[in-house]
Copies of this chain bind each other. A is one copy, B any other.
Amino acid sequence: MPKPTWVNLDERRRQRVLHTAMAEFGAHGYSGGSLNVIAREAGVAKGSLFQYFDDKLDFFAHVAEHTSIEVYTAMAPHLGPAPAGTPFVEHFANLVDIWMDYMAGHPLERGVTAATTMELDPDIRRAVREPVHRLYAQGIRPLLQSAIDAGELAADADVDALLSMLVLLLPHLALAPSEPGLDAGLALYRTRRAERSRRARRLIATIFVPAMVPS
């Protein structure tokens, strides 16, 4: 947790440090991100960083949490149930479109999301990803539930299993158009909006639309 000094800090200075840290940690991850670089680029003495946070991990955790809340806040307005007349899969795919658009337009948030998603160290990964997973679940579960209520998903659909798969899959999907090597063959990287939307829909369809021949 940030120290009180951080909270009392002049807004402009805090934003400058925060944005610089997002860029640095986003580009090089936790262990690769350099406090020296952040201090220099933000125009702040390195010692100051330690007036704001206990240590590097405390700093990174705050940056990660701030970022995930920011992303969630941007997505929240679109997380309502499908409007009447819009099929669930269509609604869901639109949501993924919005998410991909957001990540394409917000490199700072995208970088930090990638850095937390790909963190290797188990302790740091858990510390940083579990809150994010909770946010994802909080946003997506009601969607699935409303689809069941509307009779579009099977009443006995395994919501927990669906959810955990989506939580694994969606961040990669959202990042893939802007970050190379994440799409595992679906060639999402650097495709234009219409094309990536079409390809993402194919992937989403495989999740929800029956692939099996009924036995």
Binding site for B on A (CB under 8 A): 28-29, 31-32, 87-89, 114-115, 118-122, 125-126, 129-130, 133, 137, 151-154, 157-158, 160-165, 167-169, 172, 179-186, 199, 202-203, 205-215
Judging by beta carbons under 8 Å apart, are B118 and A181 in contact?
no
**Residues in B whose Cβ lies below 8 Å from that of A181:** 122, 125-126, 129-130
- Please give me the residue from chain B that is nearest to A152 by CB atom: B213
Interface of A is mostly: helix
Give the complex CA separation of A61 and B172 in angstroms.
23
| Given A133-B185, A185-B160, also A207-B115 (CB < 8 A) | no
Closest 5 CB pairs of A and B: A210-B210, A164-B186, A167-B184, A126-B181, A161-B202
List the B side residues contacting A168 at CB < 8 Å: 168-169, 172, 184
Since A118-B120, A154-B210, A210-B210 are in contact, a sample of 18 more A-B pairs with Cβ atoms closer than 8 Å, ordered by chain A residue number, is A28-B120, A32-B32, A32-B120, A126-B180, A126-B181, A133-B184, A133-B185, A157-B211, A161-B202, A161-B205, A163-B185, A165-B184, A165-B206, A168-B168, A168-B169, A206-B207, A208-B212, A209-B210
